[in-house]
Structure 1
Amino acid sequence: MLDPSILSSAFPYGRILHYWVKASLFINPVATYILTSAGNIPVDRKSKDRNKLFKGTFKALSQNQAIALFPEGTSYTEPRIMQVKDGAAWAALEYTRWVTENGNKGDPVVIVPAAISYTNKSKYRSNVIMELVDLFCTPDLAPNVNNVKRNLLTYYSLLQSTQLTNSVLSSLPLPESLDPLRPIPLPSRLLTLSILVRDSLSSIVRLPLFILPLAIHAPAYVVGRLGAKLVEDEEETQAQNKAVFGIFVLAIAVYPMVFFFLWSCLRYTSTGALVAIGFLTLLAKYHNRLINDNYEHAKRVVATWRVLVGVWAPKQWDLSVNALSQYTVPKLPPANQWIDRSRSKSRTGSGTSSPVLPPLNPAISEPAAPARKTKKDRRPPSRRLIRHVLRARIEAAKSLASLLQQLDRTPDKRVSASAHLARAFGGQVDPVRAQGILTEDGVEVPDEPTGWRSAGEVLGFLRSRGAKIGGLKTRVQGEWAAVSSEGEGEDSTAGSGEDVVWVSPERS
């Protein structure tokens, strides 16, 4: 339910989008009124009559209205598009034939692809990505591209295990005077700690200004979190339950209770009803205006103290390399039953001479059988992972900076991109299509034209949108916090160009 909400709210020119809905949902008069008022179109997928099947679609298109379809047929968490069904193409083709046969003067059908990607779809107040750059799809992009991917993947996996985010870690005040291995005078160290305490208190001081809207909206947050726990293995449904349960509680319980309470205090007068409605409207706007800032400050304060506890804790508390390996690989989402993986499988008789591509994600493959439900994995305390997280952050930042530096020195380097992105940004599109290319799992790569963009143009694109592409000369803020043994905190940027391997990259 989140995808239609995002698409409808972000669609240009404020046009109303019409969605396909199963015709069986329109049996109830109340449901029919609600669904029809929202612009939904009933579709009887069992009907053999195309005119009956697309009746509502033809009517909407003939009136120059917009229809939104989700061609993948389901929501899933995968590194690529798993399937595309032919509903949109079929509807457009049938409408074109209907216009021709009936002599209607309808405008030609225009199919506009739209992509929705979430930074952290199951987390509150996360963002939606609207523009993408296919930077890591070029096999020979740079000599260290595989190392960059591995470091970024390790860092991402450890962030998942500690429930931290890169944006929060990047904003933490971690001056070197807090480094327990440096001989910092006690007054200086206490001064830095006092500043940290002051910043924490300043975040708490603003809480009274937010306590009223927070208390009123607290039931929605609690119920939304409980709804997410019902489907802990389904990230898409988690996000949906949080939104639906929270809105339901606000609309059915919280706001009506506040309204009637205020109205009763004003003796149930008509003026009192207007005052209560106005108060609720202002309360909702006040909550939405303050929630982002307070939420970010709360996350920053919690993360800061978690990092300090982890850094100042005895080194014996850190997880060993062997115990850490299970947290350096992202948790795999369960297989989606609505994805037809067999449609993209190659035929049995495929020749062995077909070229083979490496899998998009070696850890993701089709499961042989559904896994049994086991007891929820217990995460280790964050204090045992903090040094590993910070070290992974440093290695990821350095390797990524090295990659971007190499691209900056070779602006004419061709970077693989989607064909539509290559056309949009002045790149080139290779008309030769790959034939019979298979991944290691035997999945046939779709026959698509290959697009190319120059490295200089891609970096310019990133810089124009706020990316800070710096060099390796600048040390990562808080780098000292990644120290796990004596001497490791010394300038690690110097020395050989070999990558520091602190976790075995081999998977068991």
Structure 2
Amino acid sequence: GHTYDVARILLSLALWGWFKETRVLGRENIPYRKPVILTHTNMVMDPLVLGVHMPYGRQLHFWAKSTLFSNKFAAALLTALGAVPVDRKNKDNASLFAGTIRTLRNSGVMAIFPEGTSYTLPHMMQLRDGLSWAALQHALEMDEAGDGQRTATIVPAGITYVHKQKWRSMAIIMYGAPMDVTSYLAEFRQEPRSAVKRLTRDIDTELHRVTINARDWDTMHAAEMARTLLVPDEVVLAEDYVKLMQSLVSVLQDLDDHPDVVKLQTQLVKYRSLLETLRLSDLDIASFAHENVGVIGVTVSLVARSLKLLVDLPLFLPGLLFHFPIFLIARAVDRLEPYEECKAQDKVFASIAVLPILYGLLFRYLWSFSNYSVVGLLVAVSLTVTFIVYHTALVDDRYEHFTSVVAAWRMFKAV
């Protein structure tokens, strides 16, 4: 509906502003019209990213607590946005998944995270069986109605955020191989729980193929540091990022009894910790690799980069000042939000809330110059859109240049 379309446009703008690039892999695994169950991991950000980048522009539906639908206005809004009520206290599966099965019956797309809870661990938690129950009950209903061709397909969706707490980072959406639910129906008729457990195990296996999982954060951080040293530019690596990262994690975990591997992981973690202390990245260090890393060399580099930034500043300053409130909010989130995994989603939500206000005020200010005439309306719209495009076109190069100056300043203080 129109409400969903408007929400999707706002989310698109916010995510477009936050992520430098969102790469979608495996689009061919999403059917054009058939019902689909997308199974993904648990961050609040995931359904937002999936909804914006859903192939063929299909509307995404997701579970929401049934108590949120007690208010008529809230229920209408949530339904328009794609929410499907679920009463987790209800032990009757037919009632529990009635809304989900109805959505699938209408060839809809459901996004469900089978872990059923949020967490800040570097690996998936044990999956719950709710998704499998819903999928098999829907498949059974379609089969008994003689309409097995319209049985929902389960598609694992892995979303990997590269430095997701950082502005202008990258997201990778990977749709895995579709899972045919009908092959579980014979067992489901005889032994429902056994079939459900088997499907859940298979979903877990397929989700692991499209996500990165490590047993602890030290292993994950060491693997990421190794990846940075091997292939600094993650955008170039996007197609194979998940595979490479999981391979590095597996090497560190499988050879954790080898002294050299233990030493390597320790050094990688220490190097990462040192970079965090200096507030530098490995790319910052690499940029000085061919320079004289002494007081004179670093000073020359700092002055040269600063002068270049000053030359570019008049082009970048209007956009910087205009969006300054969002930068302040982002800094506040960094200080107040204790979990790294939650910082990005908080910043995106803040952007969704603040950006329409800022651009609305800009539009009204520009329109006021023509005493709110029809011609002035068209001019104001054109100028506002031009400003958005202008800022977005310049922001990446100028931001990278700005961070290089900051890095040079920190290197200057370090030496």
What TM-score bracket applies, with the shorter chain setting the length? 0.5 to 0.7
CA distance in 1: counterparts of 2:330 and 2:291, whole angstroms: 40
- 1:227, 1:245 within 8 Å by CA — same for their partners in 2? no
Alignment of 1:471-490 (within 5 A): none
Query: What is the aligned partner in structure 1 of residue 371 from structure 2?
Result: 267
Q: Which residue of 1 aligns with 2:344?
A: 239
Amino acid at match of 2:377: A
Deviation at 1:93, TM superposition (A): 1.4
Equivalent of residue 284 in structure 1, options 383, 388, 406: 388
CA RMSD of aligned residues (A): 2.6
Deviation at 1:23, TM superposition (A): 2.1
Equivalent pair of 2:367/2:380 in contact (CA under 8 Å): yes
Cα shift readout 1:55-101 (whole Å, capped 9, x = no counterpart): 22212222333211112223433232233222221211121222234
Aligned to 2:331: 225
The Cα shift of 1:213 comes to 1.7
Q: Does residue 177 of the first structure (1) align with residue 292 of the second (2)?
A: yes
Whole-Å separation in 2 of the counterparts to 1:129 and 1:21 = 25
Residue segments in structure 1 that go unaligned for 5+ positions in a row: 181-188, 312-508
8 A contact 2:302–2:405 mirrored in 1:
no
Go from structure 1 to structure 2 and tell me whether the alpha carbon gap of 1:269 and 1:176 turns closer, same or farther (over 3 Å shift).
closer
- C-alpha separation in 1, matches of 2:148 and 2:289: 66
Q: Which residue of 2 aligns with 1:300?
A: 404
When normalised by structure 2's length, the TM-score is 0.65
Following the alignment from structure 2 to structure 1, what is the Cα–Cα distance between the partners of residues 92 and 255?
51
Deviation at 1:228, TM superposition (A): 4.2
Residues 107-155 of structure 1 show CA distances to partners (whole Å, capped at 9, x for unaligned) of 3332222222323232222223552332342434976222221221111
Map of 1:117 onto structure 2: 160
Give aligned pairs, total. Answer: 299
| Contact preservation (8 Å) 1:62, 1:106 | no
Contact preservation (8 Å) 1:173, 1:196: no
Instruction: State yes or no: 1:154 paired with 2:270.
Output: yes
Distance in 2, matches of 1:205 and 1:161, equals 31
Partner of 1:207 in structure 2?
313
2:250 aligned to which of 102, 124, 137: 137
Residue 354 of structure 1 aligns with which residue? Answer: none
AA of the residue aligned to 1:283:
F
The answer as to whether partners of 1:203 and 1:297 remain within 8 angstroms in 2 is: yes
The C-alpha deviation readout for 1:2-36, integer Å capped at 9, x for no partner, is 22222223444443321111222223343333322
Secondary structure of residue in 1 paired with 2:155 = coil
Give the Cα separation in 2 of the matches to 1:193 and 1:175: 15
User: Which one has a larger percent helix, Structure 1 or Structure 2?
Assistant: 2
Q: Compared with structure 1, are the counterparts of its residues 29 and 224 closer, same or farther at alpha carbon in structure 2 (3 Å cutoff)?
A: farther
Q: 1: distance between equivalents of 2:128 and 2:93?
A: 17
Q: Deviations over 1:404-429 (max 9, x none)?
A: xxxxxxxxxxxxxxxxxxxxxxxxxx
Match of 2:64, SS?
strand
8 Å contact from structure 2 (residues 142, 150) kept in 1: no
Identity of aligned residues (%): 39
The answer to whether residue 153 in structure 2 is matched with residue 47 in structure 1 is no
- The answer to whether the 8 A contact 1:123-1:239 is kept is yes
Q: Give 1:301 deviation, angstroms.
A: 0.9
Question: Which secondary structure state, in structure 2, belongs to the residue aligned with residue 202 of structure 1?
Answer: helix
Structure 2: unaligned runs, 5 residues or longer: 1-43, 174-241
Greater C-alpha Rg: 1
Alpha-carbon distance, 1:302 to partner: 0.7
1:57-136 equivalences under 5 Å are 57-129=100-172, 131-133=242-244, 134-136=247-249
Partner of 2:76: 33
2:280 is paired with a residue whose SS is coil
Alpha carbons of 1:248 and 1:136: their partners in 2 closer, same or farther (altered >3 Å)?
closer
**Which secondary structure state, in structure 2, belongs to the residue aligned with residue 25 of structure 1?**
helix
Q: Following the alignment from structure 2 to structure 1, what is the Cα–Cα distance between the partners of residues 410 and 62?
A: 45
Q: Quick one: distance in 2 between partners of 1:74 and 1:278?
A: 44
| Cα pair distance change 1:205/1:72, threshold 3 Å | farther
